[in-house]
A = this chain, B = another copy of it.
Amino acid sequence: MIRMTYRIESAGNVEALAEKIASDQSTGTFVAVPGETEELKARVAARVVAIRHLEPTERPSLPEEAGEVKRFNRADVDVSFPLDAVGTDLSALMTIAIGGVYSIKGMTGIRVVDMKLPQEFAAAHPGPQFGVAGSRRLTGVEGRPIIGTIVKPALGLRPKETAELVGELLSSGVDFIKDDEKLMSPAYSPLKDRVAAIMPKILDHEQKTGKKVVYAFGISHADPDEMMRNHDLVAAAGGNAAVVNINSIGMGGVAFLRKRSKLVLHAHRNGWDILTRHGGLGMEFSVWQQFWRLLGVDQFQINGIRVKYWEPDDSFVKSFEAVSTPLFAPDDCPLPVVGSGQWGGQAPDTYRRTGGSTDLLYLCGGGIVSHPGGAGAGVRAVRQAWEAAVAGISLADYARDHIELAQSLEKFADGKGA
């Protein structure tokens, strides 16, 4: 059985809408064929198995469909789908259990808040190739978060200009560097040229220091064949990671890539916000992320504490828990990527609110490169912040004998931000 939970909001009867979802998304309305009807329903019919009423609301999520009504009933409704009705294909799951419910009339709100898949999905999908363990092995980082940064400006640098910045970042001691998710292969910076300019610096740095910095190149392309060519360029040059805009290339793009990939797939969820930002509509990240994990992304961007974007801290904390909870087995967890406005100042709250985990990639842009002592000092400051967080020492105390952290606090603390 596949168990979905929908949060339904309606001026009308929530029970009737729950039954409508179960009916519409499986056998549908049809003229009964005597004798066959019961057997057919047993084969594929979805069933409402629980309804938990919530406080009514006076604020309809879809006000255009509310009319003159002033009070809207709400409930969480569990619907079970026989596995045989859907199968394990993720496009069938998305179509039947999620896509169809958004078109139903008579609701002023619908949000998919939970999804429990049966064991059969585990065997049917590859899951992450590298995940947490692979990300640690490739970077050689243990016992602390992997520290990463992003080349800025996001767009506009030519390959030679990007490579110069990468050279500076390499000497900072950072573990991971990535292209901005908006950078793929534009005319002014074709991926081929960017790889050719950057990878020798990565390999040279490895030879000199023994440390291989993982660089994630933007390889996304709507055409999977083109994306594989991008993948192959990176792999052939000795690269080992790629930024993939999962929402833009879609499930087909990710499935195709994962089956053939030699690279760590760093998932950016660009565009996801519109599916979740209104609390009465769309779906929870905990539901959405299951698709991409089964498809096999290795690292998953999920914002962080006190980010530059709209997302509140509580939402990030739920996302962190979601990606860190096995669906079927521990190795189906991707590495959570914590980013946006991070500079180390959020390390104590991040550590505390995620249950004391250091299994994460901590991504800092300005927090590293705008450090007054330069990027190297920026990286040291972030590592010091995490040392303090894990040791349970306040940043102010730890900064007394850690000069780079002290400089970070001076520059970024008290709402000044990174």
Contacts and interface: CB of A to CB of B under 8 A. Distances in A.
A131 to B, nearest CB: 20
A301 to B, nearest CB: 11
Interface stretch (A198-206, A243-251, A346-354): A243-251
A21 to B, nearest CB: 13
A368 interface: no
A363 to B, nearest CB: 15
A155 interface: yes
A299 B7 CA distance: 33
A87 B155 contact: no
B28 A153 contact: yes
A229 interface: no
A282 B96 CA distance: 22
A95 B249 CA distance: 9
Copy total for this chain: 2
Contact of A95 (B96, B100, B152, B248): B248
A259 interface: yes
Which interface class (under 10, 10 to 19, 20 to 34, 35 or more) fits A?
Answer: 35 or more
Interface in A96-147: 96, 98-100, 102-107
A309 B105 CA distance: 5
Nearest to A268: B95
Interface of A: 25-31, 36, 40-41, 43-45, 59, 61-65, 84-87, 89-92, 94-96, 98-100, 102-107, 152-157, 161, 180-182, 184-188, 220-227, 245, 247-256, 259, 270-275, 277-279, 281-282, 295, 308-311, 366, 369-370
10 contacts: A40-B153, A85-B155, A89-B222, A102-B273, A222-B252, A248-B251, A250-B254, A274-B281, A277-B281, A281-B281
Given A27-B155, A62-B278, A102-B271, 19 more contacts: A26-B156, A27-B154, A28-B155, A28-B180, A45-B156, A87-B187, A92-B220, A95-B181, A96-B155, A103-B309, A103-B311, A104-B310, A105-B309, A105-B310, A106-B310, A222-B295, A223-B252, A251-B253, A281-B281
